[in-house]
Chains A and B, each alone.
Chain A
Amino acid sequence: MDALEIARWQFGITTVYHFLMVPLTIGLGLTVATLQTMWHRTGNEHWLRMTKFWGKLFLINFIMGVATGIVQEFQFGMAWSEYSRYVGDVFGAPLAMEALLAFFVESTFLGLWIFGWKKLPKRVHLATIWCASLATILSAYFILVANSWMQHPVGTKLVDGRAVMTDAWAVFTNNTALVTFPHTIFGAFAVAGGFLLGISWFHLYRRRKEGIDTVDANGYVVVGEDPNRGKNRDKTDYQVWIKSLRIGASVAMVAFLGVALSGHEQAKLMFEQQPMKMAAAEAACHDGTGFSVLSLGDITAQGATNCDNVVAVFEIPGILSYLANGDFTTEIKGVNTLIPEYQEKYGKYYPSDESFGQYAGQEINYLPVMEVTYWGFRLMITLGGLSALAAGVALWITRKGTVPESKWLSRLAVLGIAAPFGANATGWIFTEMGRQPFTVAPNPQMGGVDQVFMYTAASVSPTVTAGEMLFSLISLTAIYGVLLVVELVLLTRYIRGGVASAMPELEAADHSSSGGPKGPDNDDDDVLAFAY
């Protein structure tokens, strides 16, 4: 592998990994803020318990997002210096704003929230979680503005071989960003919804299996208590899980609706802005109107699917046109039509320029890797749809107040947590790999070679060696692998500990140590309500 390929693998791995933590942070953050608001309003104990429990899991996950996020900001300069030079005038601004206007708020206010229980006035404490979680959304906006500009450069012109910002308003209201933003945020809520649903289902199942909760003749729940385990399995504990489950399932369903609607808008835009990406998503070699349900292809020796070998096994006529245009008859351009168009507009060969390294003068492959775009697109939709369906079914099954005493249903619910994560990941892989061979895709409304766009082949750092790239790829991938296991182990342990893992005071009396910091002469204010 050459430096470019290694750099691409690294960017892909680190970004997809980072984006496992991000949607959960966004979705769960606002959920926790809402739960705490409910507690603030009603004073009901179960809302407090939910805030603490989900807040704890939120924090275990949040730190991983923070740690892996720094890599994202550094690696543009490290591995993609030519890209950074070319786009910096436009692309750097949203990144810097993200740090200045969002990351500072997130980190500072989260610190206040974690350590501020009992220290800050209740209302102020509640405000800190809202500030932190709203900042995660703001951060998503800025980063999506940056990414959308790579998908669809606007508000820019080429000056001395570099992209220069001419219209900040256009950059920050890029129509691509405006549809990608809700799509991503709803996607994050789908993740959070599934997370709440799966974990709550597990606890309700355990309560039933252990005979704490039973059902009456009509199938309605009879809530019980396990006196041996203090408040950790009391009736309020039941409230925590059933409420969390039903909230999670509802959030997941609403989120999917939002994802689908915004995704449709996004697809329509993408047919205009990057027709090749969408043709590749459909494995649509020839012009037509049909949506492919199953296409199969041969993998050529080079590893890229060649359009000659794609066989459309099953298509639904008209649907592709509907996705792109909202009607059933407009012919959508296929790959075989698009390639000559791209070649005519942007050239058949890479320029014989030093910055292209070994790719200088070679023929440009305008077709993204079709197996990835085709299956990525479909996996995204399938996984997203399945989790929404599962959420609907879960709402129906739990209408009488609890889950059935079924081991495999419980396992399925826990396993289902992964589905929306998978949908997020495959969606990103699809849209980023579908943009190839460009890092900054050309805006079709802006003309030809003299416009702002950039080839991936010319984006990489010119004198960074393949060995250096391999060093970082291996170190980061290895560490990420280890940390994923660590995070999963910790999440599992805290989940199995129930609410008490976030609220030690709930544990049965014989568990809580006597003495400790709360001596009689110790003012409560002086003791940390929370300590690492």
Chain B
Amino acid sequence: MDWLPTLWFVVIALLWCGYLFLEGFDLGVGMLIGLGRSTEKRKRLLLNTIGPVWDGNEVWLLTAGGATFAAFPHWYASLFSALYIPLTIVLVALIFRAVAIEYRGKAITAATRKAWDLALGLGSLVAAFGVGAMLALTTLGLPLNENGDRIGGAFAWLNWHAILGGVAVVAFCWIHALAFLRLKTDGAVRHEAGKLVGRWLPVAILPLVAWALLVLLDNDSGIAWAVMGLAVIALAASMISGRAGREGVSFIALGVTLLAGVAAIFTAAYPVVLPSTIDPAFDLTVANASSTAYTLKLMSIVAAFGVPMVLAYQAWSYWVFRKRLREEHIPDTHRVVSIIK
């Protein structure tokens, strides 16, 4: 049963891929609403492209966290405690973001609506940055002692790896959101998003490539380089199809770029799940960080049933809401009036 921890390493990598792919565009849409300049009608158009699906997308993060806890308790414990301050900030960002999505339309005054927009925009930005920083650090290393505990104080995690990972995910979310809006809307938004994607796509992917190269150069893995090659091909495909106006193909190809990029990073890092920058002997690996074969077997059975189910009904929900939205589709805001005299 030696392959069980490896299987779960793959599952967790896939969960992160799913999270970045799906929540990637809704984090980006959040940033565009909250931090960009749009009319109220346009903001609501953007928000409603992710309205029915964003919460389901976010569960990928919870599942990645929960699965790490179950399958690699040491990885979960060391990573999450080492990143205490940044994860606190990510939590705050996710709280504000979630509440803002649901409550912004219920605001009465322009000032409160503006506050919710800011919460949504900053919340999305900070959450994307924090998740990126966390993933970069788990692939590039943290100062961990023998027990897997962070040493060096509250900010020992802060280095340019963290910033690179953060920027990589933020930039990806932004461009992914534009590609998504190009696919999901009609009218001016579609047109403008298309122009932006055409211009910025290669630049926006650059930090992600830099992070991947760092991990790949650090570890000798032929497979990882092959997967990375796939990412580059997908990126080219996304650019070409985007220029040709094939918005669906371009969006999917961009998604494949991300999936292959993240897969290359995890493949290169394997079998280390969290390197220690203090001493390679303290590295957490799939072998020393994992749960027992019994637990992994149980989880495998559950996942074999659960993951396909999730994919099926989430795909169905995207199918139900497949129509492009236009500004004319957005009904007027309904203002709640007290009926109490």
Contacts and interface: CB of A to CB of B under 8 A. Distances in A.
Interface residues of B, number: 85
A116 B313 CA distance: 14
Interface in A491-524: 493-494, 496-498, 500-501, 504, 507, 511, 513, 516-517, 522
B102 A78 contact: no
Nearest to A64: B99
Interface string B169-201: 000000000000000000000000000000000
A439 to B, nearest CB: 14
A67 to B, nearest CB: 4
B149 A461 contact: yes
A114 B53 CA distance: 11
A213 interface: no
Contacts of A76: 69, 76, 80
Contacts of B106: 60, 490, 493
A81 B149 contact: yes
Contacts of B85: 468, 471-472
A92 B291 contact: yes
Interface of B is mostly: helix
A85 B330 contact: no
Contacts of A497: 336-339
B99 A483 contact: yes
A475 B63 contact: no
Contacts of A522: 328
A418 interface: no
Interface string A442-468: 000000000000000000011111011
B63 A81 contact: no
B98 A108 contact: no
A490 to B, nearest CB: 6
Nearest to A103: B59
Given A79-B81, A528-B330, A100 B307 contact: yes
B105 interface: yes
Given A93-B298, A104-B314, A517 B338 contact: no
A512 B74 CA distance: 58
Interface in A87-133: 87-93, 95-101, 103-105, 107-112, 114-116, 119-120
A258 to B, nearest CB: 29
B109 interface: no
Given A78-B87, A99-B63, A99-B66, A476 B92 contact: yes
Nearest to B64: A99
A98 B63 CA distance: 8
Nearest to B305: A101
Given A99-B63, A111-B317, A88 B69 contact: yes
B295 A103 contact: no
A78 B78 CA distance: 8
A313 B150 CA distance: 52
Contacts of B151: 463
Contact of B91 (A59, A71, A493): A71
A73 interface: yes
A504 B101 contact: no
A293 interface: no
Given A165-B298, A232-B339, A507-B337, A84 B320 contact: no
A486 B84 CA distance: 27
26 contacts: A60-B103, A67-B94, A78-B84, A81-B77, A81-B81, A89-B295, A92-B291, A103-B63, A104-B314, A108-B313, A166-B294, A233-B339, A461-B84, A461-B149, A462-B147, A476-B91, A476-B92, A490-B103, A490-B106, A498-B339, A500-B336, A500-B337, A527-B329, A528-B325, A528-B330, A531-B105
Interface of B: 44, 47-48, 51-56, 58-59, 61-63, 65-67, 69-74, 76-81, 83-85, 87-88, 91-92, 94-96, 98-99, 101-106, 145, 147-151, 153-154, 291-292, 294-295, 298-299, 302-303, 306-307, 310, 313-314, 317, 320-321, 323, 325, 328-332, 334, 336-341
Given A496-B338, A532-B48, 4 more contacts: A85-B77, A97-B302, A97-B306, A531-B329
Interface of A: 59-60, 63-64, 66-71, 73-74, 76-79, 81-82, 84-85, 87-93, 95-101, 103-105, 107-112, 114-116, 119-120, 159, 164-166, 168, 206, 210, 229, 232-233, 461-465, 467-469, 471-472, 475-476, 479, 483, 486, 490, 493-494, 496-498, 500-501, 504, 507, 511, 513, 516-517, 522, 526-528, 531-532
